[in-house]
Chain A
Amino acid sequence: MQCGTMVAELLQFIIAGLKSGAVYALVALGFTIVFGATGAINFAQGEFYMLGGMTGVLLTTWGVPLPLAVVGAVMLTAVIGAAFELVAVRPIASGDPLRIIMVTIGGSVVLRQAALHLFGPDERALRPFTAGPSLRLLGAAVERQTLWVWAITAMAVVVLAVVYRQTMFGKAMRATSIRRDAARLVGIDASAMVTASFGLAAALGALGGLVVAPLTQTAFYVGSGMGVKGFAAAILGGLGNPVAAVGGGLILGLLESLTAGYLDPLYKDAVALVVLLGVLFLRPQGLLGGRGTEKV
C-alpha cells in the first residue's frame, strides 16, 4: 500500500477515535464530578447520556427547533439528575458510598425502564446539527457532526474549568470535594453542592448523548454500555481529576479505534473492559492521576 493511503488511513482511525473519545470524556467528567462530591460512583451516569439523546429526539419530533431542543434536553436531563439526587441520594444521611452505589444501580434500572415505556423499544434518529458533505483532511474524511462533537466537548471543558476556578460556586464545589466537613464549617451548603454535582454530571452526559445521536441514533438501552466506557475513561485518567478524565476519554477512544483498525473490530468493546479491569487492579489511582483515590 502506498505511504499516502496509509497515512490517510491512520488519520481516519485517529479522527474516529477522538470522536468517540470526546463523548467518553463528557460521560467520564460526569463520573468524576459526582465522585468528587460524594466519594461514590454514580451507576446511573450512562442513563443521563441516554436521556439526553432521547429527550432531544422527543423535543424535535414535537417541532422544537434543533438548537432549542438541544439546550432543552440538556436542561431537562440536568433537572432529572438533580431531582434524582434529592429523592434518592440525599436521604442517605450517612453518605455511605455502598448505599449510594446501590441506589444509583436501582435508579439506573428505573430510568432505563421509564425511557422504554415513554419512548418505545426502537432506535430513534436526530438530524445532524449542520447538513452537508464531510470535509477532507489529508485524504481522510471528517463528518461535520464530528466537528460539533469536538467543539461542544471543548466548550464544555472550558466552561467547566472557568466555573471551577473563577466562580464562588466552583470554589465551593472544589472545597466540598476535598473535605466535606471542613467546607461545611466555612459555610458551604455541602448537600446543595452534591445536588449540583448530580445536575452537572447529568447535563454533561446528556450533551454527549445529544451530540452523538445524529451519528449513531439512540435508544433506551444505550446507557449502560456508555456508562461502562465512561467509567473506564474516568478510571484510566484517575477518578476525581477532571482534566485526567478528559485525557482518559480521548485515550480510550483512540485505543478502541486503533484496535478496530489494526487488530480486529471484535476486540473493540473488550478494550474498554480490559482497560477498566487492568487499571483497577494495577493502578487504581489512574494513569494520569497522582492524587490518591481511596477515600476513607
Chain B
Amino acid sequence: MRTVRALAPYLVAIVVAAGPFLTDDRFLLKVLTFVGLNALVIVGLALLFGFAGQVSLGHAAFVGLGAYASAVCSVRFGWPWIVGFIAAGSLAALGGLILALPSLRLKGHYLAMATLGFGELASLAFVEAEPVTGGVDGFSGIPFPSIGGFEFREPAALYWLVWAIVGIAVLLATNLTALRPGRAMRALHGSELGALASGVDTTGIKVRVFVLSATLAGLAGALYASVVGFVSPSVFTVGSSVTFLAMAVIGGTGSLAGPLVAATALTLVQYLDALIPGISRDTARIVQSFQEDVYGMSIVLVVLLAPRGVSGLLKRLGSVGRP
C-alpha cells in the first residue's frame, strides 16, 4: 500500500505523458490541452488561495496580458516564440508585482477588491488599446509555438508541450510548499498574527506567491494564444477569473492535487456532450446552461460545508483505506 502511494504521482505523470499514445483522437487531445492550460493557472491560484490565503478576482487579466504579449512579440515583432513566451511571463510577473506591492499592506478582502478592479481595468484596456490588441475584433494569425526549428503544430505535440510545462510548474510548486516558504505560507493561512509573531515575513511571502501565480497565468496565456491562434478580449473577463477562483476554491486548501482534479473536472464538463457520446444533447445543454450556477453554488457549499474542498475529500478518502 505504502509503495503504491509513493508511486502514485509517477503513475499519474506516466498516464498524462502517454496520452497521445492512448488515443489518436485529435479533438480529445485538444480538449486535454485546454485542461492543461487551466491547470497551469490553477497551480498558481492554488498556491495563492490554498496556501497563502489570498483571493484574486483578476487572474484572467494576467492570462490576457501573457496572451497579448506573446501574440505581439511573435506577430508584430517577428521574434522567436520562446522569446514571446518568456516576455509573457515577465510582463505578467511585473503586473503582479505592481498590483501586489501596494496590496500587501491590506488584508484579504481588500486584495480581492483590488484584483477585481485590476481585472475590470485590464478588460477595458484590452478593448481600447486597439493598435496593440486588435480591439474587440481580436488578434488573429498567431503562429504555433516553435522551439529551435521544431514547430508544435500537431495536437499531440501541443499536448506534450503544455503538459510538460504544467509538470514543471507542479514540481516547482510541490518543492515550494514542502520547503520553509511553504510552511510559512501555511502559517499565514492559519493566522496572520501568529505567523507574524513567529517571525515570518508575511508580506514578503504574499507578494512572492502573488507574483508567481501571475507569472504562471501569463505563461498559460502565451500558450493559449499560440494553441488557439486567435486572441480576443472576451476571453479574459472577470467572469473567467471567477471560474478560475471556483476551481481553486472547490479544489480546496493545503494541497495541489485537489485544485488540479477540480480544474480537470470543471474544464471537462464544458465539453461533456462531445466527450460522452451516449449523452443526450438536451442533458448536456442543461448541464452547460447551469454551469455557472454550479460554480457559484459549489463555492458557497464548499466554503460552508467543506472548507478544505476536494483536497480534504481526497484526504478523507485516503484515510479510509489506512491500516
Is chain B in direct contact with chain A in the complex (CB below 8 A)? yes
A105 and B242 within 8 A (CB):
yes
Instruction: Tell me whether A97 and B109 are in contact in the complex, defined as CB-CB below 8 angstroms, given that A106-B299, A269-B124 are known contacts.
Output: yes
Which residues of chain A come closer than 8 Å to B298, judged between CB atoms?
106
Determine the main DSSP class of A at the interface with B: helix
CA distance A77 to B109 in the complex (A): 25
Q: A224 on the interface (CB 8 Å rule)?
A: yes
B107 and A277 within 8 A (CB):
no
Q: B128 on the interface (CB 8 Å rule)?
A: yes
A224 and B118 within 8 A (CB):
no
Q: A92 on the interface (CB 8 Å rule)?
A: yes
Closest residue on chain B to residue A89 by CB atoms: B304
- What's the nearest-Cβ distance from chain B to residue A113, in Å? 4
CA distance A21 to B32 in the complex (A): 47
Which residues of chain B come closer than 8 Å to A22, judged between CB atoms?
none
CA distance A103 to B103 in the complex (A): 22
Q: B273 on the interface (CB 8 Å rule)?
A: no
Which residues of chain B come closer than 8 Å to A91, judged between CB atoms?
304
Q: Contact residue range for chain A?
A: 35 or more
Q: A66 on the interface (CB 8 Å rule)?
A: no
A98 and B53 within 8 A (CB):
yes
Q: A105: which of B106, B124, B299, B307 is its contact (CB, 8 Å)?
A: B299
A281 and B113 within 8 A (CB):
no
* Chain B 46-84 interface mask (CB, 8 Å, partner A; 1/0): 000000010101000000000000000000000000000
A102 and B102 within 8 A (CB):
no
CA distance A8 to B108 in the complex (A): 45
B300 and A110 within 8 A (CB):
yes
A106 and B102 within 8 A (CB):
no
Which residues of chain B come closer than 8 Å to A99, judged between CB atoms?
303, 307
B103 and A107 within 8 A (CB):
no
Which residues of chain B come closer than 8 Å to A88, judged between CB atoms?
300, 304
Which residues of chain B come closer than 8 Å to A106, judged between CB atoms?
246, 249, 295-300, 303
* Chain A 268-296 interface mask (CB, 8 Å, partner B; 1/0): 01100110110011101000000000101
A113 and B245 within 8 A (CB):
no
Closest residue on chain A to residue B290 by CB atoms: A113
Surface stretch bound by B, among A148-156, A173-181, A227-235, A250-258: A227-235
A109 and B124 within 8 A (CB):
no
- What's the nearest-Cβ distance from chain A to residue B99, in Å? 8
Q: A146 on the interface (CB 8 Å rule)?
A: no
* Chain B 25-37 interface mask (CB, 8 Å, partner A; 1/0): 0000000000000
* Chain A 80-116 interface mask (CB, 8 Å, partner B; 1/0): 0000000010011000011101110111111011100
Which residues of chain A come closer than 8 Å to B55, judged between CB atoms?
98, 101-102, 105
* B window 89-114: CB within 8 A of A: 102-103, 105-110, 112-114
Q: B158 on the interface (CB 8 Å rule)?
A: no
Q: A266 on the interface (CB 8 Å rule)?
A: yes
B110 and A280 within 8 A (CB):
yes
Q: A281: which of B102, B112, B307 is its contact (CB, 8 Å)?
A: B102
- What's the nearest-Cβ distance from chain A to residue B241, in Å? 10
CA distance A105 to B103 in the complex (A): 20
CA distance A294 to B297 in the complex (A): 30
CA distance A258 to B106 in the complex (A): 30
CA distance A41 to B110 in the complex (A): 8
- What's the nearest-Cβ distance from chain A to residue B17, in Å? 35
Q: A40 on the interface (CB 8 Å rule)?
A: yes
Closest residue on chain B to residue A40 by CB atoms: B109
Q: B42 on the interface (CB 8 Å rule)?
A: no
Q: A113: which of B128, B293, B303 is its contact (CB, 8 Å)?
A: B293
Q: B292 on the interface (CB 8 Å rule)?
A: yes
Instruction: Tell me whether A109 and B110 are in contact in the complex, defined as CB-CB below 8 angstroms, given that A224-B238, A280-B102 are known contacts.
Output: no
CA distance A108 to B245 in the complex (A): 14
B108 and A97 within 8 A (CB):
yes
Closest residue on chain B to residue A97 by CB atoms: B109
Instruction: Tell me whether A284 and B106 are in contact in the complex, defined as CB-CB below 8 angstroms, given that A103-B303, A106-B297, A110-B293 are known contacts.
Output: yes
A294 and B107 within 8 A (CB):
yes
Q: Which of B107, B238, B292 gathers the greatest number of chain A CB atoms within 10 Å?
A: B107
CA distance A91 to B295 in the complex (A): 20
* B window 297-316: CB within 8 A of A: 297-300, 303-304, 307
A103 and B304 within 8 A (CB):
yes
A110 and B296 within 8 A (CB):
yes
A-B contact pairs, 10 of them (CB 8 A): A41-B113, A98-B53, A98-B55, A98-B109, A103-B304, A106-B296, A224-B238, A273-B118, A273-B124, A281-B103
Smallest CB-CB A-B distances: 4 pairs: A109-B296, A106-B299, A281-B102, A106-B300
Enumerate chain B interface residues (CB-CB to A < 8 A). Answer: 53, 55, 57, 102-103, 105-110, 112-114, 116-118, 120-121, 124, 128, 193, 238, 242, 245-246, 249, 290, 292-293, 295-300, 303-304, 307
Beyond A105-B299, A117-B293, A280-B106, list 8 extra A-B contacts (CB 8 Å).
A92-B304, A98-B108, A102-B303, A103-B299, A106-B296, A109-B242, A273-B120, A294-B107
